[in-house]
Structure 1
Amino acid sequence: MGWVSGWRGAAVGLLLLGVCQVWAEEGILHAVSNDSNLGVKQYCVMYDSKWMPFPKSLDNATEFQLKILTSTKLCNWTDVPAEGIKDKLLVVMRGNCTFIRKAQIAQRNFAKALLVATVDRIFSPSGNLSDFEKPNIPVALISYDDVLSMQKMLGDHISGTLYSPPVPTFDYSILIIFLIAVGTVAFGSYWSGMAEYGSTSYSPSDSRLQTHEENKTKESAATLTPVTVVIFVIVCSAMIVLLYFFYKWLVYLVIGIFALAAAVSLYNCLVALVKRIPYWKCKFPCDKISIEIRLLFLAVFCTAVSATWVAFRNEDRWVWILHDCLGVAFCLNFMKTLKMPHFKSCVILLVLLLIYDVFFVFISPYFTKNHESIMVEVAAGSGSTGEKSTGNYLMGLTVEPVAHNEKLPVVIRVPRLVTSVATICGMPFSLLGFGDIIVPGLLVAYCRRFDLQTNTSNIYFILCTIAYAVGMVLTFIALILTSMAQPALLYLVPCTLITCAVTAWSRREMKMFWAGNGYEMMNRVGTTSEETVETLTEPASE
């Protein structure tokens, strides 16, 4: 049952295989009251630097008079007031047309900047620049609540300045992501080997033979063959396309699946520790079975933890810690329960998912109407209109806004530790998809089991883990140099596969490593043991 739940969750978890750092496009509106003794306030805005970059400091920015027209959405030329908007920092409401359309009307009426007020959570504005001229005035989103607060605190005569403090190229959140990823892969792979060989015995005794046969059944039920690998990748591709077009509905399905899978995974990870506790071993009957009280308490605890995450999943300040703990438990449980039977299946899985990753990050923009990556759009909580989950209005299509900007819970999230606008705009995060841990982790786990089969002193496991760490370092280097989202498997797959292949070839074990002969040997041992027991028990039965 635990494996089934983990598999369903993994089908969603592998949707996001790209690692990306959420490069902040936050800006600051420095608002000053022109009335005496009303002071100065700063507000968070979001902008798209590809349109019109903001000055990097307040000293280099120009101050303009604010003109607040939240009674209009500025979608028609007739929305411009008779007194004009020349040289103004204009504030209008979001809706009915694209951001670019609003900017086009504003700049042709000589406005100096445009702020679009939204009742939802603010985000970076986007649109298809191929259909319109590129805005040459700053365009940003601001919370409508902030506009109301500004008028209440600063009065009706306000001057404003837009600027965006520089974000450090390197942030220590990358190091934390690295430690979580490498640690999870190493521990999950080591646990996978111990779980299989710590409980398997080839002794011909009846009780041990039964245990061996049960383990063989579990193994065959949780094994990815080449055929199932291909089917799995096809399902993942279909799911991410569906999420792209129907994000605001399917995101809640993904949240529910993750909550269930996370509770099961956390239970499976903690049950081994709880069973070492010498207390609360008493049992009580329940429908012809006996349940230990301590395991019942553990199940309630894991369910409560998962429910707590569901209830507070949008509280960025602290819930990311709980989310990451559940995510690590999910990855560990998946790597422990799913087995790759041979290196051949590992190669097929990693290569197909590498193609999948690169396609949806780099090639999919050529097929989307807003020319954005499907992978990045889904990871950022967007959809086919650019902001499916936040109700943007693009290409003349109106999308109903939703109450929250829900995110897919299939990434490890670590807040950036150094950012000058964090206190105003909230916490930007660095992200790593679960798939970037699980997919290479399955190969590392196979190396660990192969080491145990052939008594090779963990040489494959150690080298493949190091190769994974090197691949992560290359990913982060590319991330920093390009300042854009990176498909991590582009670096992880070559590093791990080449390392394993070279190791097997240099040790002259490629044929065994490729075909998984260790599993065939184990099955033959089990068969021999079974035949021996049948021979021993046959006279007694007569």
Structure 2
Amino acid sequence: MAAAARLAAALLLLAAQVACEFGVLRVVSQSGGTRGKDYCILYNPQWAHLPQDLSKVSLLKLRDLSSTQLCSHLDLPVEDLANQVALVARGNCTFYEKVRLAQGSGARALLVVSKEKLVPPGGNKTQYEEISIPVALLSHRDLQDIFRRFGHAVMVALYAPSEPVMDYNMVIIFVMAVGTVALGGYWAGSRDVKKYMKHKRDDGPEKHEDEAVDVTPVMICVFVVMCCFMLVLLYYFYDRLVYVIIGIFCLASSTGLYSCLAPCVRKLPFCTCRVPDNNLPYFHKRPQARMLLLALFCVTVTVVWGVFRNEDQWAWVLQDILGIAFCLYMLRTIRLPTFKACTLLLSVLFIYDVFFVFITPFLTKSGNSIMVEVATGPSNSSTHEKLPMVLKVPRLNTSPLSLCDRPFSLLGFGDILVPGLLVAYCHRFDIQVQSSRIYFVACTIAYGLGLLVTFVALVLMQRGQPALLYLVPCTLMASCTVALWRRELGAFWTGSGFVKNVPQSSWAPAEGPAPPRDSDAPLSQHPPGEEPAKRPLPTDEAGAADPAEDGNSPMANTSSPTNGDQAQPSPAAQPGTSA
């Protein structure tokens, strides 16, 4: 989960480093069709520059010589290549030899078809000065698509539109990320505090909520070690393990979607009938029909995404819905009990991110970051699968990157979950100390500011930046500042403002007499010399006193001197519980 978190920063900045070498090949049919299609090409501007505006480029006939490699004069056709774009295969000679022969035959540009990874066609300075026509690489898969769509008689144009500084889809990602953190933190905090302060009877199996998991320092260390181990395994065995990650995501996201929709479905007035008595697993609890329909719906959505996950037109919508539901489910299930645990988790993952983004390039043969290689998918992967643990939105600006294997802007789940756990802790602490949610609001705003700083760093620094590098200091410093300002840092650090999970069955005896509170005062004054009614002992039912079962109880037949009614007890609040 945290292994894919750095995808947003690293992917966008990696794209910025090679944006000047990406171009677009516009293809139209010679038969007069008005509709064309764009394809990604990779070119070296040192050979010849491509124009930025398509309107300034002439459509030229594509001459298919892909059966040859154009390494000698024998590979040239009988007719010259005047005012045509030559299409040849890659291999057996240098790019300079190919483009020199094409230029000598009158070609206006050279396209080299490659079945391997696209690399910028290179040469030396003398060769660059000698060649005046552009040379670019086209993938073999795109060439097959061209012939399938348009046939072999096509017109083409090569151009390289400028890359925008930042795509507008980052606004959508920002809203989704901040909204998920705020909603997840609010929901998780409210759920835990409600569980602490109100002890309700379980009215049925549908009202049962899963217990949250308190994270301990040992669990944090084990979790980070597992993340490191899994990231390295993915780096070396990506093609085999990527399907394991996809399967885990399907299972977890369907569970998360069910958990998020269940409270709304329970309020619906129909399909309340229950399953008949049976001995089947889970069904023996007799769930309602509407909950079974909800489970079927969640599984169906997940299966549809799993089947069409590589469909770029609309599958990203399902992935974002499932991803947000997964994040909300994790924020509700995982709970950090103290600010000390929050600081430990965020600090360790901060170091983890920085190491795998900045340090690992010095340890790998390719010189690439392990985090970036795993998050974007290795270039030599035979499956061409991508890790699903990201929010993704298609690019809204016209850009070569939208064609060149980077059509989406991405944000990893780790950038949402890790700060979101701190936001949930702040909300729980807010309600306990009755601080009008100042911790929750401050931490959420700090998360949004940290995300904005991350986006600015993508533009200014022009290199991969792990988002936690900015999100962790922003959220931790904001929370600490509020605690210092309110003089509650000690309670905030240890979580001592929280009540215990399990309510006490009886009140602990006090060491000495406690001063009376206003709410503990009797409802009526007793006449002088007359003993007031004894205070009843509280019980487990939310502190209310139960009537005695026999007449000898001091609580039985106790009446107020002023009226015949029973005295109304007003128990004092339990220690550590806000009134």
User: TM-score, normalized by length of structure 2?
Assistant: 0.72
Which residue in the other structure is 2:255 paired with?
A: 264
Q: Structure 2 residue aligned with 1:509, among 488, 503, 520?
A: 488
Matches within 5 A, 1:69-148: 69-71=65-67, 80=72, 82-83=74-75, 91-93=87-89, 103=95, 106=98, 115-117=111-113, 125-126=118-119, 138-142=135-139, 143-148=142-147
Which amino acid in the other structure matches residue 251 of structure 1? V
Corresponding position: 1:328 with 2:298: no
Distance of aligned partners of 1:459 and 1:81 in 2 relative to their CA distance in 1, 3 Å threshold = same
Which residue in the other structure is 1:232 paired with?
A: 223
Q: Deviations over 1:490-521 (max 9, x none)?
A: 111110011111111222211211122234x4
Q: Structure 1 residue aligned with 2:354, among 348, 352, 358?
A: 358
Q: Structure 2 residue aligned with 1:170, among 166, 188, 192?
A: 166
Q: Structure 2 residue aligned with 1:218, among 193, 211, 225?
A: 211
The answer as to whether partners of 2:6 and 2:375 remain within 8 angstroms in 1 is: no
The answer as to whether partners of 1:17 and 1:434 remain within 8 angstroms in 2 is: no
Q: Distance in 1 between matches of 2:415 and 2:45?
A: 28
What percent of counterpart residues are identical?
40
Matches within 5 A, 1:25-64: 27-30=23-26, 43-47=38-42, 54-58=50-54
Q: Distance in 2 between matches of 1:323 and 1:241?
A: 25
Q: Structure 2 residue aligned with 1:417, among 370, 376, 396?
A: 396
Q: Distance in 1 between matches of 2:494 and 2:403?
A: 56
Q: Structure 1 residue aligned with 2:297, among 289, 292, 301?
A: 301
Residue 61 (structure 1) shift: 6.6
Which residue in the other structure is 1:396 paired with?
A: none
Distance of aligned partners of 1:36 and 1:48 in 2 relative to their CA distance in 1, 3 Å threshold = closer
Corresponding position: 1:522 with 2:500: yes
* Structure 2 gaps, min length 5: 129-133, 510-537, 550-579
Structure showing greater radius of gyration is: 2
Which residue in the other structure is 1:247 paired with?
A: 238
Matches within 5 A, 1:342-421: 342-382=338-378, 387-389=379-381, 401-402=382-383, 405-419=384-398
* Structure 1 gaps, min length 5: 1-9, 390-400
Q: Distance in 1 between matches of 2:331 and 2:439?
A: 17
Q: Distance in 1 between matches of 2:399 and 2:120?
A: 27
The answer as to whether partners of 1:316 and 1:427 remain within 8 angstroms in 2 is: no
Which residue in the other structure is 1:443 paired with?
A: 422
Which amino acid in the other structure matches residue 223 of structure 2? F
The answer as to whether partners of 1:16 and 1:435 remain within 8 angstroms in 2 is: no
Q: Deviations over 1:459-479 (max 9, x none)?
A: 111100010010011111112
Residue 47 (structure 1) shift: 2.2
The answer as to whether partners of 1:475 and 1:488 remain within 8 angstroms in 2 is: yes
Q: Structure 1 residue aligned with 2:466, among 463, 483, 487?
A: 487
Which amino acid in the other structure matches residue 436 of structure 1? D
Higher deviation after alignment, 265-274 or 168-177 = 168-177
The answer as to whether partners of 1:173 and 1:416 remain within 8 angstroms in 2 is: yes
Which amino acid in the other structure matches residue 500 of structure 2? M
The answer as to whether partners of 1:12 and 1:254 remain within 8 angstroms in 2 is: no
Q: Deviations over 1:326-356 (max 9, x none)?
A: 1110111100110011111111111121122
Distance of aligned partners of 1:11 and 1:428 in 2 relative to their CA distance in 1, 3 Å threshold = closer
Q: Distance in 1 between matches of 2:4 and 2:28?
A: 46
Corresponding position: 1:470 with 2:465: no
Higher deviation after alignment, 413-422 or 317-326 = 413-422
Of Structure 1 and Structure 2, the greater helix share is in 1
Residue 377 (structure 1) shift: 2.2
Q: Structure 2 residue aligned with 1:187, among 162, 183, 189?
A: 183
CA-based RMSD of the aligned residues comes to 4.2
Higher deviation after alignment, 172-181 or 275-284 = 275-284
Q: Distance in 2 between matches of 1:150 and 1:300?
A: 39
Count of aligned pairs: 485
Distance of aligned partners of 1:484 and 1:428 in 2 relative to their CA distance in 1, 3 Å threshold = farther
Corresponding position: 1:154 with 2:153: yes
Which residue in the other structure is 1:397 paired with?
A: none
Q: Structure 2 residue aligned with 1:318, among 292, 314, 317?
A: 314
Which residue in the other structure is 2:517 paired with?
A: none
